[in-house]
Amino acid sequence: MTVPLLEVRDLSVTFRTEGVVTQAVRNVSFVLGRERLGIVGESGSGKSTTGRAVLGLVPAHGSVSASRLALNGEDLRHLTQHQWSRYRGRRMALVMQDPKFSLNPIMTVEKQITEAWRLHRRTTAAEARKHAAAMLEAVSIDDPERVLRLYPHQLSGGMGQRVMIAAMLIAEPELLIADEAISALDVTVGNEVLAILDRLVAERGMGLIFISHNLTAVAGLCDRVVVMYGGRVVEECAARDLAHARHPYTRALLAAAPSLDEPRASLASVVRDPAWLT
Ligand SMILES: Nc1ncnc2c1ncn2[C@@H]1O[C@H](COP(=O)(O)OP(=O)(O)OP(=O)(O)O)[C@@H](O)[C@H]1O
């Protein structure tokens, strides 16, 4: 039997802040191969917390439990912070929403891309620079030698996001988690970034978890989709079947998805059924 790239079983995350308990993720289970899995759901449904728990990035006031959390069969549940940082540096990576906040403003593009990579490998600065330039080419940046010398404020949003992707992929991770990775970009630039992710995931045989509000992007990019509501998975289907999803919440999400040619229902007007949470 082949071991899946990622196994998540009965994942729960609870936050305790000033006496208030929030159950952000409740018994979430899914399996990921070297494929693209979309996680969709409205704001607060637990998508990001699920992604962060897989990466060992839940803050200390959150408690995480799972009956299985494994990367290529390796149990991740009892890793120390040091072990987590090694997994994140080499085997798993996160691309977040806004490169403005993810890139270090006082580091050149070259430094951003090579720094984490050099921590894990013995390599010269010249070799690292060559590799970084090749990564910039892989994310369709023209004139990489020039761009390596720039600082984040000199990059457009789309270029910043490509630099982030280059920085995350230089270590050749097996799993990439993209959390609202195109939400801060305009439609055209967002589509370009999607096309780059699509190509890189296929070329490198990675697994991708693509967390997004954008059902159109998810349906276009992903193989399978998990729909979350109130911290739970309420539906899982092939991305091509998303338009025919059965669950009333997924249907409501689809009805509320923005469209250029017709007005859409507001998600706030959806009647919510407590039974979805049981
Ligand atoms: N660090 C945190 N401390 C306390 N509560 C948190 C924290 N992070 C998330 N939560 C809570 O957990 C729940 C799920 O949030 P989460 O960010 O995972 O949802 P989401 O579906 O990713 O939403 P969005 O699309 O707005 O990012 C929410 O109720 C949120 O307020």
C-alpha to C-alpha distance for 127 and 8, rounded to whole angstroms: 37
The CA-atom distances, in angstroms, between 128 and each of 22, 147, 165 are 43, 15, 16
**Using a 6 Å CB cutoff, which residues line ligand 1?**
15, 17, 22, 24, 41, 43-49, 59
59 C-alpha to center of ligand 1: Å?
12
Please tell me the distance between residue 109's alpha carbon and the centre of ligand 1 in angstroms: 30
Distance CA 181, CA 161 (A): 8
The rounded distance, in Å, linking the Cα atoms of 100 and 250 is 32
CA of 256 to the centre of ligand 1 (A): 21
Spacing, Cα 274 to ligand 1 middle (Å) = 20
Is there a contact between 13 and 25 (Cβ–Cβ < 8 Å)?
yes
CATH of domain 6-277: 3.40.50.300
Residue 271 CB contacts under 8 Å (≥ 6 apart), including other chains: none
**In degrees to the nearest 10, what's the CA dihedral of 191, 195, 200, 201?**
90
pLDDT band with cut points at 50, 70 and 90 for residue 276: low
Q: What is the pLDDT of residues 99-123, one digit of tens each?
A: 677 788 899 999 989 987 777 778 8
Which single residue is written with the structure tokens 């370009």?
192
Pocket test of ligand 1: the residue of 11, 12, 22, 234 to mutate, having most ligand atoms within 8 Å of its CB, is 22
Q: pLDDT tens for residues 126-183?
A: 999 999 999 899 888 999 999 999 999 999 888 898 898 888 888 889 999 999 888 8
Q: Find the range with the poorest average confidence among 32-41, 177-186, 250-259.
A: 250-259
Tell me whether residue 193 is exposed, middle or buried, using C-beta atoms within 10 angstroms of its C-beta: 0 to 12, 13 to 18, 19 or more: buried
- pTM for this predicted structure: 0.89
Q: In the sheet that 92-95 helps form, which strands lie side by side, from edge to edge? A: 92-95, 175-179, 207-211, 36-40, 224-229, 232-238
* Domain boundary assignment for the chain: 6-277
ipTM for the complex shown: 0.97
The SS3 of residue 28 is strand
Q: Whose CA is nearest to atom 25 of ligand 1?
A: 43
| Cα 118 off chain centre by | 23
Distance of alpha carbon 161 from alpha carbon 103, whole angstroms: 9
| The two structure tokens encoding residue 239 | 């991305």
